[in-house]
Amino acid sequence: MIPLRRNIKQMAGYVPGFQPPDVAAWIKLNTNENPYPPSPKVVAAILAELGADGGNLRKYPDAGSRAGRAAAGKLYGFDPSWVILANGSDELLNNLIRAFVGEGEEIAFVHPSYTYYATLAEIQGARVRTFGLTETWELADFPERYEGKLFFLVNPNAPLGFTYPLEFIENLARRCAGMLVLDEAYADFADENALALVKKYENVVVTRTFSKSYCLAGMRLGLAIARPEVIAALDKIRDHYNLDRLAQAAAMAALEDQAYFTECVRKIRETRAWFTGELRVLGYGVIPSRANFVFATPPDRNGKRVYDGLYQRKILVRHFSDPLLAEGLRISIGTRAEMERTIEALREIG
């Protein structure tokens, strides 16, 4: 299994453990991290949970993350029995496969999208099927009735950034015999989300992450919203103490400080719009993005050339070796100053 997992990530342009020398001096736009610090209330909550002498760390955390589930349920309009918190959304994706897919059974997802689905499926011995995209972002050759156990849909799409209309997603829910997992890692940067479909369809699960819009990639926090019976199934197979005390405190504070969250998202969306316009002035093709990144293709369609030019100027972006993506670059949205410097570098590169 290990060599296969390595190959899958290499096909996606992933370099394990890659860090350039003196990374702190670089502009880092390659992993879709939020450029802003978390809410001051999050920092205060972590320090309070730690205690003056760190003594609270001798105690186990709440195994059920009940306060965090209640906070998420209140925010999104669900009873806590419909919510689960996890050690990053990757834990949820893994546990969904463990809960619903047996060895030799099938999962599917869109290509291109998050390649880690394939890694997780292979670890569990599941079969993988992918569906391509048409020029109008429709799924190519998707059956009238998909009989696989799980279908993963990233919305907004990563790495391209576009969104699927809600009518399309609802139609997909009707056509999936198994579970439809809507990976909404970037939904907070879009105009709408699919949470309403969780109450309408028994087979819909929505996963979210705190890494992007809540500025907490370093805390490894995620959540899922689904029917209580689905949440109960995920509860049975998760690690007993899957979230430590500090992570639970951070989750609570982040969810409760919606004023900070809203302002942070607003800044990223505004910078995204400005950066997209500047790229187009330079002749780049840019897919309209509803995420905290853009996928941009230079006029000569040589993404690697531009990647190398930015790297020489200490600016990290993401270039994929996949032939479907190799002509362009995925560029995370940083601060306005970082994006202005990136535009200057792109002008120099030509």
284 compared with 2, residue with greater pLDDT: 284
pLDDT at position 98: 96
pLDDT at position 11: 36
Kindly report the pTM of this predicted structure: 0.91
pLDDT at position 9: 40
Q: Where are the alpha helices (DSSP H) in 239-315?
A: 245-256, 258-281, 303-312
pLDDT in tens, 85-144: 999 999 999 999 999 999 999 999 999 999 899 999 999 999 999 999 988 888 999 999
User: Helix and strand tally (H, E) in the chain?
Assistant: 12, 12
The strand ranges marked E within 39-156 are 83-86, 106-110, 127-131, 150-154
pLDDT in tens, 261-299: 999 999 999 999 999 999 999 999 999 999 999 999 999
pLDDT at position 69: 97
Burial class (CB in 10 A: 0-12, 13-18, 19+), 297: buried
pLDDT at position 270: 98
Q: Is the pLDDT of residue 310 over 50?
A: yes
Two structure tokens written together for 293: 């990144």
* Main-chain phi, psi angles of 207, to 5 degrees: -110, 145
Burial class (CB in 10 A: 0-12, 13-18, 19+), 91: buried
What single DSSP character describes residue 70?
H
Instruction: For residue 179, give the H/E element and its range.
Output: strand 179-183
Contacts with 180 (C-beta within 8 Å, 6 or more apart), sequence order: 151, 153, 169, 172, 173, 201, 203, 204, 205
- Interatomic CA distance for residues 240 and 64, integer angstroms: 8
pLDDT average, residue stretch 194-199: 98
Q: Is the pLDDT of residue 322 over 50?
A: yes
- State the pLDDT confidence band at 7, using cuts at 50, 70 and 90: very low
